[in-house]
Chains A and B, each alone.
Chain A
Amino acid sequence: MPNKTFFWFFLPTGLAMILFIGLPIISTGIQSFYAQHDQVVKEVKKCDPFGCTVSIVVDNEETSKIREAKPLGKFNGFGTYTDRNHLAVDEIKKFWNETESFGAFVDQVTNLPFYKALIFTLTYCLFVTPNVLLLGFIIALSLNAVARKIRGPLIFGTILPMIVTPLVGSLVLFWMIDSQGIIGANIQNLMNDPYLSLKSSKTLTWITIIIYGIWHHSPFAFVVFYAALQTVPQEPVEAAIIDGASRFQRIKHIVLPHIYPVVTFVALISLMDNFRVFEPIIGFSAEGSAQSLSWLIYDNLVNEEVILFGSAAATSMMTIIGIAILLAPVLIRTWKEFKTAR
């Protein structure tokens, strides 16, 4: 296709992506170097029969004037990145000098908002992704062994958790697991502890969100693996049966190597999706004990007094860097393949 024709065909979608994905990333980058204005204060002298007092009040008029003149806020450089709510450079230095043991230091650091969120996000990715792969693969194997006639409805039932939006999915589970729901109440009875509830324990909350993650993402892995299983050639499998290979051996030595590229694809996609975990935290109302990077950004953006554009943008930039690190191996591999293909 000549370049000119390509240009006209591609222009609309290219424009949409540049304007609404490329530019916003740049806009986020710029915003992250600015912080909201400080409030202008003025001294007010108040006199009454007992003498005069000087008090400091916020000058609303002046403040809004400055805000209007420079809506982006004041230039802050890397100030937002290093402040307490983000990388917290000063605090970490202080903890390093003050705390005696390394354990205490780690404890202090993981209480800082950004590191807390980072650790939750990474824990979530680390536990959900492998389990999703495993469960998805087992479901695919097991459905593949069922008679063809009844597979349709079974597949439909299996993919339900995936097609609902994460908020709805987590709500539906939350209403059952909550202390007033069917599962929560039964667990309370079973453990004989009327105060046992999701909100009471941080570990329980984390486990619940991770279980939700596995429940929500496994169907995707299942669908891809199921389709890949249909393409496994039958001859080697039959040869292995004749040679006396056990079921497990057949899966390990024939099926798995065949679908290996698909496994990396699923791992990559679900890692990318898990890294942006956010809606389940709202669905499970778990803000108290579990915060993710995306949730931090959301929280800054729905702030009631002043929207913290700078703070949200700084967290966003660091999230994007995180995604880049996750994607790097894949991009490097594709680049190498592309170079050798030429």
Chain B
Amino acid sequence: MDYGLDTKSTRLKTFNTIFIITWLLIACFPFIWTFWGSFKVRADFFSRSDWLYAISAFNTLIETGGQFTTNAYTQAWTEGEFWKASKNTIIVTVFVVSISLFLGTLGAYALSRSTEKYAFWILMAALIFRAMPHITLVSGYLFPFFELQIWGILPTTIVVLVAINQPFTLWLLYSFFKTVPKELDESALIDGCSYFQAFRHIIMPVMWPGVITAGLFSLMLAYNDFTVTALLLNQENHTMVPKIQSYLGTNQHEGNLMWAVSAVVSATAPLFMLVMFFQRQVISGLTAGAVKG
């Protein structure tokens, strides 16, 4: 309840407004600038002579005859085969999200309803697994995967991403299921349901808020992953993020920077829209483990 005791001076208010505007500029301007620049030609966005060309579109006018051009997009999506990368990303994301939610809800439900000591140790182990840098795990995968000849294909990557994602999903859903009253499923058990039936008919209908949050985080992990996808997939099966890196070029061959710029915009736009839509869930997920300490 606010009784209006906390009065702020005008000076403080102005200072606060200026601070927030500055921070928002720092946070958002790089994305706006990249979006703007993706409709220019390379000589404008990466101008050697004058950075103002990126605004006045000096070279874009000469090369294409207009202020804006979508050349970078059409080329990256067709010649650069970005369509293939986005198709792979969609496949990976859909499978990772659905499988890790399926495994995660079952496991987290069991953890939240168990009073045994080992449940605590499993959660601790999950915390340690969560801390492992992904690249150290990848260095463990590569050799066995080469030997088993399952390197480079999408299913392997999907399974690996699901596993890497499990610790976080477990913690998130565990703290969610803890908030679902025990009495709900206990009464079902007394009525003669098995645990699985209780889960299916009592818990499943009420678990969607938690599942949506966990799903969003699995999605962001699978969609954003670079370490695993870059090292475990072959060129043909690359998802969006490693594809963007391949456009940057190496010492040996020059990349196509404008493809990378347009690919970055194409890859981030859906993510931003999704987060805008599900902002509340993302924030509640990030704070789920935290506020409870």
Interface residues in chain A, defined as those with a beta carbon under 8 Å from any beta carbon in chain B: 1, 3, 5-6, 9-10, 12-14, 16-17, 19-28, 31, 71-72, 138-139, 142-143, 145-146, 152, 154-161, 163-168, 171-173, 175-176, 178, 180-182, 185-186, 215, 219-220, 223-224, 226-228, 231, 234, 237-238, 241-242, 247, 261-262, 265-266, 272, 275-276, 278-279, 282, 285, 294, 297-298, 300-302, 307, 309, 312-313, 316-317, 319-320, 323, 326-327, 331, 334, 338
**B13 — nearest CB in chain A belongs to which residue?**
A145
State whether B226 touches A331 (Cβ < 8 A): no
In the bound complex, how far is the Cα of B106 from the Cα of A223, in angstroms? 28
State whether B271 touches A164 (Cβ < 8 A): yes
Which of B106, B139, B143 touches A12 (beta carbons < 8 Å)?
B106
In the bound complex, how far is the Cα of B13 from the Cα of A146, in angstroms? 9
State whether B26 touches A215 (Cβ < 8 A): yes
State whether A6 touches B147 (Cβ < 8 A): no
In the complex with contacts A1-B113, A154-B24, A172-B30, A167-B107 CB distance below 8 A: no
Within 262-290 of B, Cβ neighbours of A (below 8 Å) are at 264, 267-268, 271-272, 275-276, 279, 282-284, 286-287, 289-290
In the bound complex, how far is the Cα of B50 from the Cα of A17, in angstroms? 53
Please indicate the chain B residues that have their CB under 8 angstroms from the CB of A182 in the complex: 33, 51, 54
In the bound complex, how far is the Cα of B132 from the Cα of A186, in angstroms? 40
In the complex with contacts A168-B264, A301-B138, A323-B132, A180-B23 CB distance below 8 A: no
Please indicate the chain B residues that have their CB under 8 angstroms from the CB of A261 in the complex: 293
Please indicate the chain B residues that have their CB under 8 angstroms from the CB of A285 in the complex: 248
Indicate with 1 or 0, residue by residue over B90-112, a CB within 8 angstroms of chain A CB atoms: 00000000000011101101110
User: How many interface contacts (CB-CB < 8 Å) are there between A and B?
Assistant: 274
Interface residues in chain B, defined as those with a beta carbon under 8 Å from any beta carbon in chain A: 1-3, 5-6, 8, 12, 16, 19-20, 23-24, 26-28, 30-31, 33-34, 37, 45-48, 50-51, 54, 102-104, 106-107, 109-111, 113-116, 119-120, 122, 124-144, 146-147, 159-160, 162-164, 166-167, 170, 195, 199, 220, 223-227, 231, 241, 244-245, 248, 260-261, 264, 267-268, 271-272, 275-276, 279, 282-284, 286-287, 289-291, 293
- Nearest CB on B from A332, distance (A): 12
Which of B23, B163, B267, B276 touches A139 (beta carbons < 8 Å)?
B23
